[in-house]
């Protein structure tokens, strides 16, 4: 998944410094980041893609709460439980105005024994 951005350095810095992603690959005009198994990139262009949602998955509610504490200034609301999807999450806005979701599942996942359930 790649996004055009008018300020590649600002977008990359946000995801590295605030979200905890790491640079996976630098290319001419594009940076690919990695957060766990999730790879996503930003390419410096004359316009910005600000639609879509980047979703980051965490193992438990405590991790989501920690991210909320770090990103409270960009969060739309505090974390909450979604009964419909059995997840615990919050949404934030990145510097380009993209929607970013931070979540954990509250039910067992395929191949796993359980979720947080709390």
**Sorting pLDDT into bands at 50, 70 and 90, what band is 113?**
low
Which of 40, 34, 36 is CA-nearest to residue 52? Answer: 40
Give dist(CA 67, CA 51) in Å, integer. 22
Question: Which position has the higher pLDDT, 117 or 103?
Answer: 103
Give dist(CA 21, CA 31) in Å, integer. 12
Q: Which residue has the tokens 């996503």?
A: 40
> What token pair was written down for 32?
């690919």
Reported as a single tens digit per residue, the pLDDT across 7-38 is 999 999 999 999 999 999 999 999 999 999 99
Please answer whether residues 12 and 23 qualify as being in contact, where contact means their C-beta atoms are separated by less than 8 angstroms. yes
**Sorting pLDDT into bands at 50, 70 and 90, what band is 86?**
very high
Please answer whether residues 76 and 33 qualify as being in contact, where contact means their C-beta atoms are separated by less than 8 angstroms. no
Beta bridge partners, 99, equal 53, 93
Residues in the chain: 118
Reported as a single tens digit per residue, the pLDDT across 34-83 is 999 999 999 999 999 888 899 999 999 999 999 999 999 999 999 999 99
């Amino acid at each position: 998944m790649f996004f055009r951005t008018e300020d590649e350095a600002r977008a990359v810095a946000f995801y590295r410094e605030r979200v905890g992603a790491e640079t996976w690959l630098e290319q001419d005009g594009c940076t690919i980041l990695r957060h766990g198994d999730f790879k996503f990139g930003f390419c410096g262009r004359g316009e910005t893609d600000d639609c879509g949602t980047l979703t980051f998955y965490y193992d438990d509610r405590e991790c989501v709460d920690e991210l909320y504490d770090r990103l409270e200034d960009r969060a739309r609301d505090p974390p909450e439980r979604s009964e419909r999807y059995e997840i615990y999450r919050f949404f934030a806005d990145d510097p380009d105005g993209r929607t970013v979701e931070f979540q954990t599942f509250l039910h067992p996942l395929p191949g796993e024994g359980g979720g947080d359930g709390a």
